Copies of this chain bind each other. A is one copy, B any other.
């Protein structure tokens, strides 16, 4: 992915995608002598090597595909997986809300299949740091394999372990948790984050969010936001423009907060009305 970012044509060793007009996507590493088998026919790697990006290519059955550098969203959405992944719609908002960009030091747990890991490694760049905890060895191995495939594993420090037993790093800009019991791990997160640092997590159920809120409070996390993102696609027919028939209704609830150093003996809880907070949140 990274290695050939500014190249204008496909070379052996590149991660490429071929996309059918009906949007079937095949992502693979280009290698001389190999073939990719699709429901629309076979495409020989050798017919792709040397071709300009964006080229239309034809399978042995005469069906067209477009040869492309895989977009980050496609890599994430099509990642080989043995876990539920975090989707691009959520990842984009996580990056912007937590200020994760070039040079950021970010920790995630768990790695899962490496979907968010891929995005983090991509965005923090060569000067950033990504530490990724995973407690299941097989899952960790898959995440590493997936990052290897896209050429980003050198940016990630994979750690096998349970952060309930402590996080070995300190002073991180951001920590993101995708762990069922994340609400039990907030004191560990507090220690790994620098003061003012960003906490984020995703939960499938609202019950988990309810358990998280007192844990954030107890550990002096403030500026708490809870939200969900709905993404609706349209059928791209100029004369019959309309949304698709069905959509994803839910991936997860996102919660964000900042690590705060409170003044002793103050009780700021009572000073502000709910109304103001809510109005501010509605105006985001």
Binding site for B on A (CB under 8 A): 2, 5-6, 8, 19-24, 52-58, 63-64, 66-73, 76-77, 88-89, 91-99, 101-105, 119, 122-128, 171, 173, 194-198, 204-207, 209-210, 213-214, 222-250, 253, 258-263, 266, 268-269, 271-274, 276-278, 280-282, 284
Contacts and interface: CB of A to CB of B under 8 A. Distances in A.
Given A242-B204, A284-B77, A196 B102 contact: no
Contacts of A124: 102
B276 A207 contact: no
A92 to B, nearest CB: 3
A103 B21 CA distance: 29
11 contacts: A22-B276, A52-B261, A56-B261, A58-B263, A64-B263, A66-B222, A66-B223, A102-B122, A205-B241, A226-B233, A233-B282
Contacts of A237: 213, 274
Main secondary structure of the interface of A (DSSP, over half): mixed
Contact of A280 (B24, B57, B209, B268): B24
Contacts of A269: 21
A245 B8 CA distance: 39
A240 B204 CA distance: 8
B97 A122 contact: no
A250 B244 contact: yes
Nearest to A217: B238
Most B-side CB within 10 Å, residue of A53, A104, A171, A262: A53
